[in-house]
Each structure stands twice: as structure tokens, then as C-alpha cells.
Amino acid sequence: MRLQGWREVLTRRMSFAFVILGVGAALYSPEAMAKDPGACTAGTMLLLSAPEASQGSLLLIEVKSAKPLAAVQGDWGGRSVPMWREGADEARQKGLLGVDLEKAPGEYELKIAGETASGEKMSCSVKVAVRQGRFATESLQVGQEFVEPSPEQVKRANEERQKLRDIFDRVTPERLWDGPFRIPLDGVTTGSNFGKRRILNGNPGSPHGGMDLPGTTGTPVHAAQRGNVALAEELFFSGNTVVLDHGLGIYTFYGHLSEIDVKAGDSLETGAVLGKVGATGRVTGPHLHWGLTVERARVNPLLLVRLLGNPPDTPARKKPSKRRAR
Ligand SMILES: [Zn+2]
């Protein structure tokens, strides 16, 4: 990971411990992994992209049945799980399990329930463990005005936080996206600071809910997938901000834009330019703050690109060719 050069800090202590989340083409059957098998009825099978989860991560779910499936719903510890059918295969459904950045570690039961096309009830149940995420911690000494905003600023920030919550609470019942998600900046393959804990003048702040992508002011910012603009306005913390609704409770967030090129209600295709990289809001230098919310869970947006980034049924990445010895 690269250190960001844009932060003006007097002291900085950083500790990095990164978990590379392996997201291959393989899906694991909970039955094969767990001592206590995840039970499925009506000849159905449940597959997960990883045997367990960590804070801020995302798992791909697949439900396979011998018979065509009608409606299928997912529930994970009281939160619904976005589920959808892809392509012509009526016996398969996919889903996304978003693990919030601050979800308490522990075991949570994933329940899938639905009906086959002929009306037969089906259900699956498996316990998914959540581990503590490993995030960087940064201690900063900053000017008091950064730590103690004015009462008007606090009021504004609280109102905007509630406005965003209300947006993320709304679940558009249709899947608006179609195909892989992309990273919103051309030529950028990764970012930094997801989940970073910041301690300002000794006081822990809320964790960084998105990923910072490097970019210079004016760089075009592209829609990660097809979606509707749920918000396009200037906010206190994130400056010029766009939020895209991709349907099924999945939202992407683009912050600190120098300019916004869309308006609320617009329908965007994948890759459409929604604005330009900038340094608006509470930042000290240009970059794109990119966030992903899945059913209100703040998760690492890169994982969505990795999980849905390859067209279905493509083989896993080819082995690299042999390196020539130097
Ligand atoms: Zn950020």
C-alpha cells in the first residue's frame, strides 16, 4: 500500500496489517467446510465464495437447485441479503453478503428461503463467522478546527448523515446493474485507507468507510455500473458527492469531486462520467473517495469488482508465464 502524500500531519504512526482476501472462481460448500453442515431442503445446495467473513468484506452466495426456482429470499442476522437470478439458468440464484466494517465479530446465521417454480418450499441455513477486520490505525495531531467543528457545521453534518442513511435504507427492488463492476478511475487498480481507524488528538474517530483512489483534479470519474443517481450535491465532509443506486440495496458513493456532471434522478450506464476528481470537503488534497454499501453494510468496494468482475463461468486467472531469471 502506498502512503498518501496529501495529508498534512504533525505526527503519524501507522500500522498496517493486510489480509489479502482470496476471491477466486471457486465457491465453497458450507457442507464441505463445517462440522455442523448447513442444511438445505428440496435438493438445493448453498455455496459461498469464502468459508468465513471479516469486517468490511463481501461474500458471494450461490443457491443451486435441481429444479427451477421461483422467488428466493436471504436473511443474515435480521438483515435481508440481495438475491438475484443471472442469465437463463432458472435453477440458480446469486446473492451478496455484505459485512459492515463495524459488525461485531461472532457467528451469524444465514437463512435462505423460497419456493421452486412448482411451489415446493426450499430453505438453507448456515452459520457464517465474522472475524475482526485488520485495518490500519493512524494517529494525527491536527488544528483544533478539524476536531471541533462549529455548532452549525455539526448540525449540517448530522443532517447529511441522516439523509445518507435514509438513502441507503431504501431498497430498489429491481437489479439495475448488469455484469461486472469497474473501478471508477481509468488505469487505477487499487486504493488505500479502507476501514482505517483515525485517532485525532488522542480521540478515536469513526473509521474511514470507503477507499481512497489516487487521481489528480479533473480526472473523469466513471459510474462503476449501471444505476440511478440517488444524490448529487455538496456535503460537509465529502464535498461534491454522487451516490448511485444499483438496485437491491447496493449503492456506490463518490466523494470530493471538483465538479458534478449529473443530477439526482439521472439513469447512468456503466462507465458514464458522473464528475471529476477533486479536493472538495474535508480533505487536503485531490483523490476520489469511493464507497460501497450493500444493504446498509459498508464494505470494501474492490471486493465487488473482484467478485462480479469476471463474466460468469470464465476460468480463474491464468497462471503467469515463467519469469526469466535475471
Ligand atoms: Zn476517503
Measured in residues, the chain has a length of 326
Q: Per 3-state DSSP, what percentage of the chain is helix, strand, and coil (rounded to 5)?
A: 10, 40, 50
pLDDT digits (tens, 9 = 90+) for 158-203: 999 999 999 999 999 999 999 999 999 999 999 999 999 988 888 8
CA angle 50, 53, 58 (to 5 degrees): 80
Q: Is the pLDDT of residue 314 over 80?
A: no
- Asked whether residue 172 falls in the same domain as residue 264, the answer is yes
User: What is the number of structural domains in the chain?
Assistant: 2
Where is the domain boundary, 102, 131, 160?
131
Q: How far from 275 is each of 176, 229, 262, CA to CA, in Å?
A: 20, 12, 7
Report how far Cα 92 is from the mean position of its chain's Cα atoms.
23
- Asked whether residue 271 falls in the same domain as residue 233, the answer is yes
pLDDT digits (tens, 9 = 90+) for 283-313: 889 999 999 999 999 999 999 999 987 544 4
Report how far Cα 296 is from the mean position of its chain's Cα atoms.
10
- Does some domain include residue 170? yes
Q: How far is the CA of 205 from the centre of ligand 1 (A)?
A: 14
Q: How far is the CA of 288 from the centre of ligand 1 (A)?
A: 7
Q: How far is the CA of 291 from the centre of ligand 1 (A)?
A: 8
- Does some domain include residue 10? no
Domain residue limits at 250: 137-325
Torsion, Cα 31 32 34 40, to 10 degrees, reads 0
Q: How far is the CA of 211 from the centre of ligand 1 (A)?
A: 6
Q: Is the pLDDT of residue 275 over 60?
A: yes
Query: How many helices (H) and strands (E) are present in the chain, helices listed first?
Result: 4, 24
Q: Which amino acid is at 270?
A: T
How far apart are the C-alpha atoms of 295 and 228, rounded to whole Å? 16
Q: How far is the CA of 292 from the centre of ligand 1 (A)?
A: 12
Q: Is the pLDDT of residue 251 over 90?
A: yes
Neighbours of 212 (CB within 10 A): 20
Taking all residues of the chain, what is their mean pLDDT, rounded to a whole number? 84
Where is the domain boundary, 109, 131, 153?
131
- Does some domain include residue 190? yes
Q: How far is the CA of 308 from the centre of ligand 1 (A)?
A: 23
Q: How far is the CA of 132 from the centre of ligand 1 (A)?
A: 21
- Asked whether residue 123 falls in the same domain as residue 145, the answer is no
pLDDT digits (tens, 9 = 90+) for 118-131: 999 999 999 999 99
pLDDT digits (tens, 9 = 90+) for 100-153: 999 999 999 999 999 998 999 999 999 999 999 999 998 888 776 666 778 999
The DSSP symbol for 287 reads B
